[in-house]
Chains A and B, each alone.
Chain A
Amino acid sequence: AQKVTQAQTEISVVEKEDVTLDCVYETRDTTYYLFWYKQPPSGELVFLIRRNSFDEQNEISGRYSWNFQKSTSSFNFTITASQVVDSAVYFCALSDVPQGAQKLVFGQGTRLTINP
């Protein structure tokens, strides 16, 4: 069975600090996708990134970066120079490469608070 673990329930940092959100996953599939979604206080879910299991290259998008390591089954997310607007709940998710439904399996989420 697939499983995603986000061990950090809550993180609180001061603005401009760097912060890393951990994500560890379990799957028996050799091909899968990994995702990060952001849920700001307004409640919607915002797509941030999708990675294919074949692509272990790290990715950077502005202040956001992602570190995918198959050897440790981890897909960690780092925010550099955090800002108050980054305050949100962040979800890591996993899906297989679907034969049928692309069911996303979500972690429990990490609530990130950036204090001014």
Chain B
Amino acid sequence: NAGVMQNPRHLVRRRGQEARLRCSPMKGHSHVYWYRQLPEEGLKFMVYLQKENIIDESGMPKERFSAEFPKEGPSILRIQQVVRGDSAAYFCASSRDLQETQYFGPGTRLLVL
């Protein structure tokens, strides 16, 4: 049973470009969470999605960031017009149900030049 998959594992962007991070949850999991780990900091919740719905985006910056989890395909975290401060590791987690344990993917390390 494959775990949570994220790609790319590493992403380099120049300031002003767009970054697209993908997350495929574990088989049978319909709940997806995105967290961000800034350098030398712990992980911070960004957004929680179920299929086709954003349930809670209270941790996501209001501008330039968006997330989706379409009926078909992976969840996407999109960052428009990236700035250096967006450089971080972005982790996706999935769970089978709302109260089940979250299992994390390997993360995408974004570097903004």
Q: Is B48 positioned at the interface, with any CB of A under 8 Å from its CB?
A: yes
* Bound complex: CA A105 to CA B44 (Å): 7
Q: Is A64 positioned at the interface, with any CB of B under 8 Å from its CB?
A: no
* A91 touching B42 in the complex, CB below 8 Å, given contacts A44-B104, A47-B104, A102-B102: yes
Evaluate contact between B59 and A103: CB separation under 8 angstroms.
Answer: yes
CB closest chain-A residue, reference B104: A45
Which A residues lie within 8 Å of B89 (CB)? 43
* Bound complex: CA A109 to CA B101 (Å): 19
Interface residues, chain A, with chain B CB atoms under 8 Å away: 35, 37, 42-47, 50, 91, 93, 97-98, 100-109
Evaluate contact between A102 and B48: CB separation under 8 angstroms.
Answer: yes
* Bound complex: CA A42 to CA B41 (Å): 17
Q: Is B35 positioned at the interface, with any CB of A under 8 Å from its CB?
A: yes
- The A interface is mostly helix, strand or loop, or mixed, namely loop
* Bound complex: CA A105 to CA B33 (Å): 13
Nearest chain A CB to B88 CB, angstrom units:
12
Scoring A35, A104, A105 by chain B CB atoms within 10 A of each residue's CB, the highest score goes to: A104
Which A residues lie within 8 Å of B35 (CB)? 104, 106
The count of A-to-B residue pairs whose CB atoms sit within 8 angstroms is: 65
Interface residues, chain B, with chain A CB atoms under 8 Å away: 31, 33, 35, 41-45, 48, 55-56, 58-59, 89, 91, 93, 95, 98-99, 101-107, 109
Nearest chain B CB to A3 CB, angstrom units:
11
Scoring B93, B98, B102 by chain A CB atoms within 10 A of each residue's CB, the highest score goes to: B102
* Bound complex: CA A97 to CA B55 (Å): 16
CB closest chain-A residue, reference B106: A44
* Bound complex: CA A106 to CA B104 (Å): 14
Which B residues lie within 8 Å of A44 (CB)? 104-107
Which B residues lie within 8 Å of A42 (CB)? 106
* Bound complex: CA A108 to CA B37 (Å): 10
Subset of 10 A-B contacts with CB under 8 Å:
A37-B104, A43-B109, A45-B91, A45-B107, A101-B56, A102-B33, A102-B48, A102-B102, A103-B58, A106-B42
